[in-house]
């Protein structure tokens, strides 16, 4: 009896800590949301921090602004393209690194991390010159290709660890049954690692969805993505906070949707699935 109530209290305390922590962490976002539903007069006025008349005008303005809509579409296309390319080239490579013999495996695994490590600052000018020659500036595919560079490292690393978790025996058994390597990869390994694929995909999408510097340099008006679009709302007459805050909140929505749809897999976690030590 006593033991049970102790466990009960412990549970209650844990829940309280979690909720408290969650709240503390979300404060900046809650604040941003509050800004987004205030009128320009009330936003930032200390006395109207808590008491104000909520308005959804900012959201309406953001959604009915044709260029902001276009930036959203661009971001979506670029992020999806980059995700597709990184997955198509990254997942099979991870499989090969994990289950097939490869001489340069270790070197390549570290090399691709190096590729991710390079600060964007470094690459802007060379890429700009290169893309100018190739006529890739102001194309969505061009931007997606740059992001691929950063996403592949994550794809390969996380899928590599997930594939490592699948016993090698499975491969041997399937092989004895007469399956080709392609079949084994496609029919056995891919479905088995669905959780890993989902989380990796979300993180990759996120990175491309949020990237700023390359998007600024390698796009022009028609292909601008949404982070650049929002930063461009900063002008000398002050930041248009209504659009900035509502735009930023709208930017969160697709990611939330993904996170919600894959919440089961998020529990499984990124990369960690196989790290049993």
Partner 1 sequence: MALRKEEKRANALFSVPMIIVIGALTIIPLTYMVYISTTSWNLARPWGTTFVGWDNYSYLLKDPDLIQVILVTLYFVIFCVAGQMALGLGIAILLHANVKTISKTRSLFIFPMVLAPIIVGLVWKIFLNPQLGGLAAWLNLLGLPTVSLLGSARGAVTAIIIASIWEWFPFVMLILLGALESFPEEPFEAAHVDGASSTQIFWHITLPLLKPALLLALSFRVIESMKIFPLIFMMTGGGPGKSTSSIDYYAYLNGFVYLDIGYSSALMVIMLILTSVLCFSLFRSLFVSR
Partner 2 sequence: MCRKLSVGIMVLLLSIFVVLGTTAAVAQAETVIGEDVLQAGRPYEGTTLRFISLNYLYSKAIQQLTPHFEKATGMKVEIELYGTEDNFIKQVSELSMGGYAYDIVQVPPFNQPQYMAAGWLSPLDDYLQDSRFTPSAFDADDFFKVGMEFGSREGIQYTLPIFSATILYYYRTDVFDKYGIAGPAETFEELLDISKKIQSDEIAAIVLRGKPSIEQNMWPFGLIARGYSSFFKDYPDDLHPNLTDPNFLKAANLWKELFQYGPPGINTFSHEEVILYAQKGLAAQWIDGHPLAGLFLDPERSSVVGKVAVAKTPRGPKGWFPAFSEHGIGIARGSLQKDAAWEFIKWASSKEVLLEASQISQYLAVTRRSVFADPRFREKYSYFGGTFLDISNETLQARSLYFPPIPEWPTVGHVIARALSEVTSGIKSAQDAFSGANSTVDRIMKSAGYYK
Interface positions, 72-131, toward partner 2 (CB under 8 A):
72-73, 124-125, 128-129
Instruction: Determine contact, residues 56/39, Cβ cutoff 8 Å.
Output: no
Q: Closer to partner 2 at the Cβ: 69 or 105?
A: 69
149 binds, among partner 1, partner 2, none (CB under 5 to 8 A by kind): partner 1
First to last CA, the chain: 39
* Interaction between residue 9 and partner 1 (CB under 8 A): no
Interface pattern 101-140 for partner 1 (x via CB under 8 A): xx---x-xxxxxxxxxxxxxxxx-xxx-xx----------
Instruction: Determine contact, residues 62/244, Cβ cutoff 8 Å.
Output: no
Q: Closer to partner 2 at the Cβ: 188 or 252?
A: 252
* Interaction between residue 238 and partner 2 (CB under 8 A): yes
* Interaction between residue 267 and partner 1 (CB under 8 A): yes
- Reduced to 3 states (helix: H, G, I; strand: E, B; else coil), residue 127 is helix
Residues touching partner 2, count (CB under 8 A): 41
Q: Which of 4, 51, 64, 276 binds partner 1 (CB under 8 A)?
A: 276
* Interaction between residue 28 and partner 2 (CB under 8 A): no
* Interaction between residue 179 and partner 1 (CB under 8 A): no
Interface pattern 18-47 for partner 1 (x via CB under 8 A): xx-xx--xxxxxxxx-x---------x-x-
Q: Six-digit token pair at 85? A: 């390319």
For 90-125, letters b (16+ CB in 10 Å) and e give: bbbbbbbbbbeeeeeeeeebeebeeeeeeebeebbe
Q: Closer to partner 2 at the Cβ: 14 or 253?
A: 253
Q: How far is the CB of 221 from partner 2 (least distance, A)?
A: 4
Quick one: which segment of 35-43, 85-93, 100-108, 167-175 binds partner 2 (CB under 8 A)?
Answer: 35-43
Other beta carbons within 10 Å of 201: 21
φ, ψ of residue 129 to 5 degrees: the values are -65, -45
Q: Six-digit token pair at 238? A: 């002050």
CA distances from 261 to 131, 151, 258, 271 (A): 37, 21, 5, 19
């Amino acid at each position: 009896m006593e033991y049970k109530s102790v466990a009960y209290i412990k549970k209650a305390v844990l829940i309280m800590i979690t909720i408290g922590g969650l709240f503390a962490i979300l404060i900046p976002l809650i604040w941003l949301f509050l800004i987004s539903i205030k009128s320009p007069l009330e936003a930032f006025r200390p006395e109207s921090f808590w008491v104000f008349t909520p308005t959804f005008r900012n959201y309406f303005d953001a959604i009915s602004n044709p260029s902001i809509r276009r930036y959203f579409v661009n971001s979506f296309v670029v992020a999806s393209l980059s995700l597709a390319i990184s997955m198509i080239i990254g997942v099979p490579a991870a499989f090969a690194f994990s289950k097939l013999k490869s001489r340069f495996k270790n070197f390549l695994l570290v090399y691709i991390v190096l590729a991710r490590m390079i600060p964007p600052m470094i690459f802007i000018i060379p890429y700009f010159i290169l893309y100018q020659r190739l006529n890739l500036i102001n194309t969505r595919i061009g931007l997606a290709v740059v992001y691929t560079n950063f996403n592949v490292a994550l794809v390969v690393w996380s899928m590599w660890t997930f594939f490592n978790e699948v016993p090698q025996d499975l491969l041997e058994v399937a092989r004895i049954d007469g399956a080709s390597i392609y079949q084994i990869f496609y029919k056995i390994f891919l479905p088995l690692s669905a959780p890993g694929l989902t989380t990796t995909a979300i993180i990759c999408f996120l990175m491309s969805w949020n990237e700023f510097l390359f998007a600024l340099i390698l796009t022009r008006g028609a292909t601008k993505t949404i982070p650049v679009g929002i930063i461009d709302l900063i002008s000398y007459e002050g930041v248009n906070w209504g659009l900035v805050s509502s735009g930023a909140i709208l930017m969160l929505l697709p990611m939330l949707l993904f996170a919600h749809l894959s919440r089961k897999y998020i529990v499984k976690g990124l990369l960690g699935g196989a790290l049993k030590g």
